[in-house]
């Protein structure tokens, strides 16, 4: 069997095994992930990616290894950017809700002031 085919089979088996462990064993039940736990899992997955990158360097050469590393770093930075975008989106949603509440309060206050102004105008008109 060619080496390249064996590497692909090994990669697929390893990937399925890791996903099974991650989703089927370690995260069976839903829970709030702490910062510490997120950092540990991120370190595990980044470490595995770097080990894989070492295999790419070894079996496919320096150029392919650098291509993989570059692609991995770009994808990692884009995923961090997506998290930041999500947080920013939530922030803007909260701000919009606050503005809507403030707008309702301002409208209510304007109606109250209009009512008071009408009363004052009526009093002045009678004099």
93-107 tens-digit pLDDT: 666 666 766 777 777
Indicate the DSSP class of residue 31.
Answer: -
| Domain assignment of residue 51, yes or no | yes
| Domain assignment of residue 21, yes or no | no
| Domain assignment of residue 52, yes or no | yes
Residue 81, domain extent:
32-126
| Domain assignment of residue 62, yes or no | yes
* pTM, entire model: 0.56
| Domain assignment of residue 25, yes or no | no
| Domain assignment of residue 77, yes or no | yes
Tens digits of per-residue pLDDT, 14-40? Answer: 889 988 887 877 777 777 878 898 889
Which residue intervals of the chain are DSSP H helices?
3-19, 35-60, 62-126
CA 70 to chain centre: 21
Tens digits of per-residue pLDDT, 44-86? Answer: 989 999 999 998 899 889 999 999 999 999 988 888 766 666 6
33 to 21, 38, 39, 117, 127: CA distances (angstroms): 17, 6, 10, 56, 71
Structural domains in the chain (count)? 1
């Amino acid at each position: 069997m060619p080496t390249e085919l064996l590497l692909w089979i090994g990669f697929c088996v390893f990937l399925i095994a890791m996903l099974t462990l991650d989703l089927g064993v370690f995260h069976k039940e839903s829970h709030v992930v702490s910062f510490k736990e997120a950092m540990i899992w991120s370190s595990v997955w980044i470490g595995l990616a770097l080990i894989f990158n070492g295999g790419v360097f070894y079996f496919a050469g320096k150029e392919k290894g650098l291509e993989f590393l570059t692609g991995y770093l770009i994808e990692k930075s884009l995923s961090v950017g997506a998290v930041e975008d999500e947080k920013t989106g939530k922030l803007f949603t909260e701000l919009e809700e606050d503005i809507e509440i403030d707008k309702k309060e301002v409208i209510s206050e304007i109606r109250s002031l209009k009512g008071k102004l009408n009363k004052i105008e009526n009093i002045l008109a009678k004099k």
